[in-house]
Amino acid sequence: MQVPSTPETLAGTVAAVRGAVVDVAFGQGSLAPLNTALSIAIDDGHAIVGEVQAHLDEHTVRALAMQSTSGLARGAQATAGCEPIAIPVGDATLGRLIDVLGTPGDDGEPFPADVPRRPIHRTPPPLSAQDSATGIFATGIKVVDLLAPLARGGKAAMFGGAGVGKTVLVMELIHAMVERYQGISVFAGVGERSREGHEMLLDMRQSGVLPRTVLVYGQMNEPPGARWRVPLTALTIAEHFRDEAHRDVLLLMDNVFRFVQAGAEVSGLLGRLPSRVGYQPTLASEVGALQERIVSVGGVSITAIEAVYVPADDFTDPAVTTIAAHVDSTVMLSRAMAAEGMYPAIDPIESTSILLDPFVVGAEHVAIAAEVRRTIEHYRELQDVISLLGVEELGLDDRRIVGRARRLQRFLTQPFAVTEALTGVPGRSVALADTLAGCKAILAGECDDWHEKSLYMTGTLDEAREREQGAS
């Protein structure tokens, strides 16, 4: 079997079609290399793009279709250019919504013929060329900035089950980016619902951030190949802005679990035996190939914020643990906190960040964060006793800690700008200094006599103080 070493065009015919998997037979000579594009003609004059995934024998390749294979028949003509799928990049993509192949999906004009294109497959920069994280990415979200600070030029993941607020949190971070961050943003919607795509496009138009944003979507109703390769398309666009335009990029992905899920579907379609919990045997290498490209090079950074669905709230799921191994900041969303109305429902004990270090954020920040965690954890240890006997049966010290923990939990809630239309409460963005000052005051006992509701869904401690004075 011979694989061409230089780009050339090969002609073949479709030998078999099994859903999204297409076998293509070539004549005598070379086979298209793995991960290269195929174009397959169908009766109405259109063509389907596929990607070579396996060499079955000396004459046949197995390809994965990126579009629906409806209407495709055996004997259809196929051509292989022996190069990976290439998508438009650069300023022409700003303000546009595109699919995995770079085709506009926003009813706008097609891209001009001279727009630069780049292949979606690329090796990560060598470790010697990579830069470390360049500082803190301030979000204005109290619990994130305090307990799981995000790194500019790093990777952060938000893990949570269905309906606990991952997408809302990502939307709020986009809103924070509009106010604080003047770089380029690339949003990858992996396996998203059509409704969410329309809402995202509308919100970005209204907020004025769309001219600096690229939206890349592979929706739920698309073939698994499209959902599987959408993150690579978004990452290729981000890499172009980083490497050739030398601009900082914010890469948002919602939802990375759908990328893993699409990879499992592809693995099954290609006939591979499943691995642990039914996932593909190539799970670690697929996630690694994606995550290791998200790096900072030459003083410019790609900052990644990823939402990750947790199936059945099982944080030990192989997909979840594999993704978690690659990120700097881990934000865990709790269903129990969501049930109590503590929004954002971020677990202050489980959420962590490698940036929570005295040499990065300062000794005072680390000390306050540790004391907040210790206080809330002690309260959780006492919850069973409180449920059985009541808080009155606790000792004086324990009652004081319980009161402060409950006030800390409520102070770490805040209304979001993106939910204002639903709740009628204006969003709050809180500076880190105000968050630290508020937590320090609560831990010191300055708010022990306040009503808990004064601290709930508020911004700074001064705003809570005004509520308390108004209530009294």
Catalytic residues: 166, 192-193
- Number of residues that make up the chain: 472
Q: Which residues, 6+ apart, have CB-to-CB distance to 314 below 8 Å? A: 320
For residue 203, the SS3 value is helix
Q: Kindly state the tokens that stand for 331.
A: 């934000």
**Cα 322 versus chain centre, distance:** 14
For residue 150, the SS3 value is strand
Measured CA to CA in angstroms, residue 128 lies from 89, 132, 249, 298, 379 at distances of: 26, 11, 21, 11, 46
Q: Kindly state the tokens that stand for 289.
A: 């190939």
Contact call for residues 309 and 294 (beta carbons, < 8 A)? no
Measured CA to CA in angstroms, residue 176 lies from 48, 137, 211, 433, 450 at distances of: 39, 10, 16, 17, 30
- Tell how many helices (H) and how many strands (E) occur in the chain: 14, 20
Cα 79–83–86 angle (5° rounding)? 100
Residue 258 has a CB neighbour count (10 Å cut-off) of 25
35: left (phi over 0), alpha (psi -120 to 50) or beta: left
Contact call for residues 170 and 392 (beta carbons, < 8 A)? no
Largest Cα span, the chain = 88
